[in-house]
Every structure is written in structure tokens, then in C-alpha cells.
Amino acid sequence: MKEDFLHYLWRNKKFDFLNLQTVNGDEIVIINPGTYIEDEGPDFFNAQLIIANQKWAGNLEIHLKSSDWYVHHHESDPNYNNVILHVVWEHDVDVFRKNNTNIPVLELKNFVPDVELIKHEYLFKSKTWINCENDIHKVNSFVFKKWQERLFLERLEMKAGSIQGCLDNNENDWEATFFIFLTKYFGLNVNGDAFYEIAKSIPFSIIRKEQTNLLSLEALLFGFANLLNDEKEDVYFLNLKQQWVYLKHKYKLSNDDFINLQFFKLRPDNFPTIRLSQLAVLYHANVNLFSKVIDANNLSDFHKLFSSEVSEYWKSRYVFDKESRLKSKKLSKSFVNLLVINVVIPMKFLYAKQRSKNIIDDLIELLIELPSESNAIIDKFKSFDLKINSAFDSQTLIHLKNHYCNHKRCLNCDIGLSLLK
């Protein structure tokens, strides 16, 4: 048993609250159970109780054992001076205020019906992939959908947090910040971190100045990726290298950082050479790309906007010095969908939020347009008879698994709470 189960019992009055007594036999009447606070300090603020016919207003602290008060050093923390009731599962020691008066104790185990313990044990003793996998399909569809909306907002807030830090570093330059995060996801999982470092290394003011010259854009990206360090006879390689040397001198650039790009086990269309060329073509064709992203609203808009392909040289190559069958190598719809999910939607959310606009419903509609992602987590959820029809479903379930199920936060989850009712 964990303390959060006791929090759940108290918040939802899952005990015999009409016949409560302290361990000393004093009657307890709950007027207001207080507001649950997850931050530091007592667990419930501004509770109102009647204890032994005297009305009290203050805070409540909850522990498994009353001795935990001293284990957590609350006796020396002024935040706990206003605790009016100590709610515990097991009372093993008296607790005193600084003025040596005894803090009343409620031993909750004496007032909780067995059925609540049975439901708790059923949910938490599971050794399965997730605790509720045998019952999740039984959850009311309205409860499930509302919880998904909250998970989606929580996921957006988390992603927006990292974007905000980058935006601050870029002095609120949205175009520069968008370039960094878009570049990261062009690298996918394998090269994402390396692409992110490449994008951060290039002052976006230089991208703006050189945007009309595709050779310069490719030279910047390939140069910072350390892909122009070798000696080759390939004419295009030599042109890129010459342009890179010129740009380094012109803008006093340095690429001393070690960038470790991976080709191994990647499909050729995902080679970093191909993705960097596609990125260069995209920015060559679109001045103020982020502004266009903000103006776009539906999936077809984004598929048109991100319809770039590689430069002419890369249509017949995947690496320098080695020709292959001619192919345009346009960004696929599935790849653009990933960019929309991971870059466009979080950026649009934060941009609107900073302007006090609520576009959550619009973003949900956009996600519903997108097909569900396919991965091990989604495949497992599908095996529980869940209908997963869109990226909205897959994104929220991925967040649920990683941030709730993996940490057994069932008592913070509306699915878990509904199954305990």
C-alpha cells in the first residue's frame, strides 16, 4: 500500500465518514475535506473539521504510519504548524506540535470497508503489462475520451516546455526555434539528437541570408554535419566543400563539435544525406516557413507545404561518389505526418497559448485526421480490444503508458479511478 491510496480514500470519502473517531475516541465531523495539493507541504489545505465538538480550520497530513511524521522531519518544518488532523493507516506513535500539544490522529484502517481494499489489491497486485489490461476496455467511453483530452493537453504542455526553453535562448525568434525542432525530427530517432545539435550550431540569421542559394544551404547543413571532411573527386562534393569553406570564412563559423551521424541499419531514404538535402530544399522554397505553418490548418495544407524533395544531385545518389537508380525522394506522407505530430502541433499550441488563444479543439481535430501510429505500445493496447483509429488515440495512449502505467499512477488516472468505483 502507498500513501496515494490513502489520498484517494480521503478525497473520495471511501470510508465510514459518518462515524469517525480519533485514536483517543473523540468524534470527527468532516465539514470540508480540504483541497489536495501535490506540492511540498501538507497533503490537504484548508480543511474544516469538528473534533470533540470544537471546530477546526487548517491542513491535513496523511501517512502510512504516524511515525512517518518524524521520518519526513515535519516536526522541524514550519509548513506543518497548521496541521489539525494526522490521517494514518496505522498509528504507532504520538505526534506533537511545537507547543507540545498533541495532534489528533485518525487511524483510517478502522473505517475503510473491505471492498475498497479488495478492489485496490485487484488493481495493484497485477503482474501484467499494465494493471488494468483485463478491464480497460470496460471503461465508460465518455470517461475514456475526456481523460484522453486531458492526457493530450498534458503531453502538449510537456513538449511546449522544451520548446519554450529553446525559444528563450533564441530571443523569442519563432522561425529559428521552429528550424531547430524541425531539423531534429528530420533526423528521426536514430539521428535526431545529432540533427538537433547541427541546427543549434547554425545561426538562423545565416539561414535567412543564404536561403535563396540552395548550394549554400546544403553546404551549411552538410558542413556542420562533418560530411565534407573527406577527400573525394566527386564534382558536387567539391562544390559543396568549396562553398562550405567560403561560408565558414565569411561568417567566422566553427564546426569543432563531434557530430556522430548514423547510416547503419537505416533505410536509404532515411540516410542523413537525404534528410539534410530535403531540409535544405524545403527552406530554399519557403521563406518564413513557420509563418506558413501557423496559417495552415488542415492535413492537406501541411502535405502541400512539406512536399519538398532532394536536390538534383541526390536524386541519383544516397551517399557521395556512388550513383543509384534515379528517384525524386519526396518527403512521404507518413514522414510529414510525424512532423505534424511532433513539431507542428506543439509549436502551434505554444504560439497560440502565448497569445491567449485556445486552439486545443482544432489541434485535436488535426490529430484525428492523422492515422494512428504503429509501434509496440499501440499494438499491445489494441490487444486489449481498444479502438485506436487516429493519431489522437495513439498519442494519448503512448503518454498514458509512459507517464502513468509505467509508474503505476492508477490513482492519478481517470481510468484507474473509474475501475475502483
Residue 257 has a pLDDT of 76
Residue 64 has a pLDDT of 96
CB distance 170 to 177 below 8 Å: yes
Does one domain contain both 89 and 40?
Answer: yes
Residue 142 has a pLDDT of 97
> Strands 105-107, 83-90: parallel, antiparallel or unpaired by DSSP?
parallel
Which residues, including other chains, have CB under 8 Å from residue 246's CB and lie 6 or more apart?
Answer: none
Residue 256 has a pLDDT of 79
What letter represents residue 98's amino acid? K
Residue 122 has a pLDDT of 79
Domain interval for residue 416: 114-421
Does one domain contain both 274 and 312?
Answer: yes
Does one domain contain both 75 and 174?
Answer: no
Does one domain contain both 130 and 82?
Answer: no
Taking Cα atoms as reference points, which of 298, 368, 282 lies closest to residue 331?
282
Buried b or exposed e, range 213-249, using 16+ CB within 10 angstroms: ebbbbbbbbbbbbbbbeeeeeeebbeebbebbeebbe
How many Å apart are CA 224 and CA 204, to the nearest integer?
13
Using the 3D structure, point to which of 94, 112, 130 is the last residue of a domain: 112
Does one domain contain both 158 and 191?
Answer: yes
- What backbone phi and psi angles, to 5 degrees, belong to 394? -70, -40
Does one domain contain both 215 and 270?
Answer: yes
Q: In this structure, is the dihedral angle defined by the CA atoms of residues 315, 318, 322 and 324, taken in order, positive or negative? A: negative
Does one domain contain both 83 and 124?
Answer: no
Q: In this structure, what C-alpha cell is assigned to residue 182?
A: 524541425
How many Å apart are CA 62 and CA 7, to the nearest integer?
7
Q: In this structure, is the dihedral angle defined by the CA atoms of residues 383, 389, 395 and 397, taken in order, positive or negative? A: negative
How many Å apart are CA 177 and CA 200, to the nearest integer?
9
CB distance 132 to 120 below 8 Å: no
Using the 3D structure, point to which of 112, 143, 158 is the last residue of a domain: 112
Does one domain contain both 56 and 154?
Answer: no
Does one domain contain both 47 and 194?
Answer: no
Does one domain contain both 27 and 85?
Answer: yes
The angle subtended at Cα 193 by Cα 189 and Cα 197, nearest 5°, is 150
Does one domain contain both 33 and 181?
Answer: no
Per-residue pLDDT of the chain (421 residues; tens, 9 = 90+): 889 999 999 999 999 999 999 999 999 999 999 999 888 899 999 999 999 999 999 999 999 999 999 999 999 899 999 999 999 999 999 999 888 889 999 999 999 999 888 888 878 877 789 999 999 999 999 999 999 999 999 999 999 999 999 999 999 999 999 999 999 999 999 999 999 999 999 999 999 999 999 999 999 999 999 999 999 989 999 999 999 999 999 999 988 777 889 999 899 999 999 999 999 999 999 999 999 999 998 999 999 999 999 999 999 999 999 999 999 899 999 999 999 999 999 999 999 999 999 999 999 999 999 999 999 999 999 999 999 999 999 999 999 999 999 998 999 999 999 998 8
Residue 370 has a pLDDT of 97
Taking Cα atoms as reference points, which of 249, 227, 1 lies closest to residue 108?
1
Which residues, including other chains, have CB under 8 Å from residue 404's CB and lie 6 or more apart?
Answer: 410, 412, 413, 416
CB distance 3 to 63 below 8 Å: yes
Residue 358: count other Cβ atoms within 10 Å of its Cβ: 10
How many Å apart are CA 44 and CA 62, to the nearest integer?
8
CB distance 146 to 126 below 8 Å: no
Q: In this structure, what C-alpha cell is assigned to residue 345?
A: 502541433
Does one domain contain both 97 and 179?
Answer: no
- Reported for 157-160, long-range contacts at CB under 8 A and 24+ positions apart, including other chains, are 159/342, 159/346, 159/349, 160/346, 160/349, 160/350, 160/353
Q: In this structure, what C-alpha cell is assigned to residue 317?
A: 545518389
Q: Could you tell me the CA-to-CA distances from 399 to 185, 217, 394 in Å, in that order?
A: 18, 36, 9
Q: Could you tell me the CA-to-CA distances from 20 to 58, 101, 160, 382 in Å, in that order?
A: 18, 21, 45, 45
Using the 3D structure, point to which of 112, 137, 167 is the last residue of a domain: 112
How many folded domains does the chain comprise? 2
How many Å apart are CA 380 and CA 44, to the nearest integer?
37
